[in-house]
Chain A
Amino acid sequence: MERRAVVVTGVGVVNAAIVGASPALGAWLAAPRPAARVTAHGRPAVRLPEGTLAGLIDPGEARRLSRVCQLTIAAARLATVESGLDPARGLGLVVGSELGDFTSTIAFADGYLARGAAGLSALLFPNTVMNTMAATTAIAVAARELALTLNVPTVAGELAIARGVAAVASGRVDAVLAGGVDEVDPLVEEMLGTLGDRDVRGEGAAFLVLEAESVARARGATTLGRLAGAAWRALPARPWGVGRRSGSRAIEEALAGAALGPPGFVYCSASGDAERDGWEARVLAAALGDATPPAVSLAPLLGQHAGLGALRVAAALWTARAGVLPDDAGGPARRVAGPGLVHGLARGGAHVAVIASAA
């Protein structure tokens, strides 16, 4: 089957350190600073400062929509505005999320626990379904083609991008808005802590406009780079477990699809879970051999959330253009060249690889 080349024409990011389109992301990547951490239930977490959404969401939406839906819409709008895309020409939407709108779900349950049936909110109930972010965002940006919500631990953002690339490359849709979103909720923090989750959690959203290169060029769009290959597979592991196998079909297929040679740098999904991070390092070493290029995660700076997975793809495009790989441990940036690999591996084995290159 003939595959269409896929380019990125817009980026939108809203998190604790970055608010804006690709210039804002580039500025932060050039001089990355850690977002402030708070401690919830004995666990560090990165939260969006109060008031961040005020300038991005109109007052009517702010009253009507949950916070995680507002985050999603804000980032999605930034991306679509930068792309200059006309949604009426056909726009799909893929949202990756690990936790969905848990805050609303808890509030809905609390209403019942406090007041019985009379305490149930018909307005909150739709938010208990995880596609609420996709539903509200589809309305906000007029995305009328497929609209998927993908739920997987820790790599939902990368997976959403890979799925969006597949939709555009196959010719089923000319443009897809794809990305990830999560928010920090105190109860979720408590539960994750109890389950032994070692990630430093963050919150935010990042979305990319993916377009068929031929369509983007025909409308005169500025491209931020090309997503030359994308694949998702699974490595064997128990649910929530870390596996032993390190051979990666996802990396192999993404590299083969891109046909660009070995990557010059890696954005990986290491996030502070030592066991899982070690597994990812072994998988990368097995796939890339002795030539394993320099890698960075950004999770230590922004906290693990589904938005970060999508942000890494946008960051890889910036690195491919600028030839600069930031350091997330306070060290100097490194000069790199060539395409980059964005890699995600979750407990349980969900596994994603995306190849990003300069346009």
Chain B
Amino acid sequence: MRPVVVTGLGAVSPFGVGVKPYWAGLAAGACAIRPLTLFDAAAFRCRIAAAVPESPGASPRRSRADGLALGAAGEALDDAGLGRVERREAALIVGAVGGGMLEAEAWYWARAQGERVPSWAAALRSMLPGSHAGTLAHRLGLGGPRHSVVTACSSGAVALAEAAELIADGVVDVALAGGVDAMTRLCFMGFNALKLLDPEPCRPFDRDRRGMSIGEGAAFVVLEAAERAHARGARVYAELAGHGMTTDAFHVTAPQPEGEGMTRAMRAALAVAGLDPRGVGYVNAHGTATPQNDRIEALAIARVFGEGRVLVSSNKSMIGHTMAAAGGLEAVATILALTHELVPPTANLGTPDADVAFDCVPRVAREAAIEHAISNSFGFGGQNVTLLFRRA
């Protein structure tokens, strides 16, 4: 199997458009979770979320999610310096959940009240999560194999794993992969219904954590066969040295209580990379801030790496849970942590949970020269993914 490296990064996050503001926000430990204004949240216990402040590529003919995806994907391709010819061969794997549901909801709400909504055909065409891949391929000139993958909150990370396999197996030399999700009423209402949202900005790994905050965004990376990237003189951020994908087969919304599937995913990533657990210095955690998820993830990390042996932090404390985008955004953060030798903090972490046997980097970023880091993503249905990055 061929080594796979990262040569381009793109992000649209609640900190703004571009990788630069994204990393600046993470490094500063800033929190982008604010009162939600995208739609009416007055009826709910939680009324805050981490929205993208300006939607790139906004157009009445394009869904908000497509705009976010185009912003991040275009940045990643430009960053990698991929020209038209190279793009024609590039694979495209998109992790998505909500699709263009925000606009479809507006259509359905209006329809239920007997109103008409302009440009609703465009809204319906982009409603399904698979629609982003078509839009991105058409707009960005990507002509290789493409598919859209839905594994709930781990979708973005699965997209990277899928692309890495296509390259490692020799199907393609280069791929654009990542995740996108715009805020939707259904998602916000659903997590409210499950009583999984904290009315205050979320506090992963805090003793008094009370649940998640919802976010939105998009992140894409360009993955390439290492030999090809080196041959064309591309800047290499990191190697995607391993990944693991497992399923709990336990419960639709709750993780397996011992973190068995999470443990297998992390061990699978280590096995693919041929790496001893002691070689990993940082875990970019899924870290949703629900009492159950954080405890079980910490248990699984301890089982794989040993208690206290790695730094652990959660980006969701700053940008909320961006759903299908989370795996992509957190992969970008993990890569940048390696390149900048700086571990982003867990914001809002005041009183560490005694059951979490790790330094969770409270509030302030930590300088650390790390050779290997992993990014965990877990989703509804017990869909576990671990990506393992090696510093270039």
Which residues of the other chain, A, contact B151 by a CB distance below 8 angstroms? 131, 134, 147-149
Q: Which of the residues B44, B97, B165 comes within 8 Å of A129, measured between beta carbons?
A: B97
Which residues of the other chain, B, contact A122 by a CB distance below 8 angstroms? 190, 193-195
Which residues of the other chain, A, contact B130 by a CB distance below 8 angstroms? 98, 150-153, 156
Contact count band on B: 35 or more
B146 touches A350 (CB 8 A): yes
8 Å CB interface, B148-171 against A: 148-152, 158, 162, 165, 169-171
* A143 within 8 A of partner (CB): yes
Chain A interface, >50% SS class: mixed
Taking the closest CB of chain A, its distance from the CB of B41, in whole angstroms, is 10
Which residues of the other chain, A, contact B96 by a CB distance below 8 angstroms? 151
Taking the closest CB of chain A, its distance from the CB of B202, in whole angstroms, is 19
Which residues of the other chain, B, contact A148 by a CB distance below 8 angstroms? 149, 151, 158, 162
Q: Which of the residues A109, A136, A152 comes within 8 Å of B108, measured between beta carbons?
A: A109
8 Å CB interface, A132-191 against B: 132, 134-136, 138-139, 142-153, 156, 159, 163, 166, 170, 172, 191
Q: How far is the CA of A52 from the CA of B195 in the complex (A)?
A: 36
A125 touches B381 (CB 8 A): no
8 Å CB interface, A14-31 against B: none
* B131 within 8 A of partner (CB): yes
Given A98-B128, A195-B125, CB of A135 within 8 Å of CB of B147: no
Which residues of the other chain, B, contact A132 by a CB distance below 8 angstroms? 252, 380-381
Interface size on A, residues (CB 8 A): 62
Interface centre among A150, A170, A234, by most chain B C-beta atoms within 10 angstroms, is A234
Q: Which of the residues A126, A149, A152, A166 comes within 8 Å of B253, measured between beta carbons?
A: A126
Which residues of the other chain, A, contact B170 by a CB distance below 8 angstroms? 1
Chain B interface, >50% SS class: mixed
Q: Which of the residues B124, B127, B147 comes within 8 Å of A159, measured between beta carbons?
A: B147
* A242 within 8 A of partner (CB): no
Q: How far is the CA of A159 from the CA of B147 in the complex (A)?
A: 9
A128 touches B134 (CB 8 A): no
* A345 within 8 A of partner (CB): no
B381 touches A349 (CB 8 A): no
Which residues of the other chain, A, contact B189 by a CB distance below 8 angstroms? 108, 112, 117, 120, 125
16 new A-B contacts at CB < 8 Å, known A117-B43, A138-B381, A151-B149: A1-B1, A117-B44, A125-B193, A125-B194, A129-B152, A134-B381, A139-B251, A144-B249, A146-B247, A150-B130, A151-B96, A166-B169, A236-B143, A238-B138, A239-B131, A350-B134
Q: Name the 9 nearest CB pairs between A and B, nearest first.
A: A135-B381, A125-B190, A151-B130, A239-B134, A120-B193, A146-B245, A147-B247, A130-B150, A348-B134
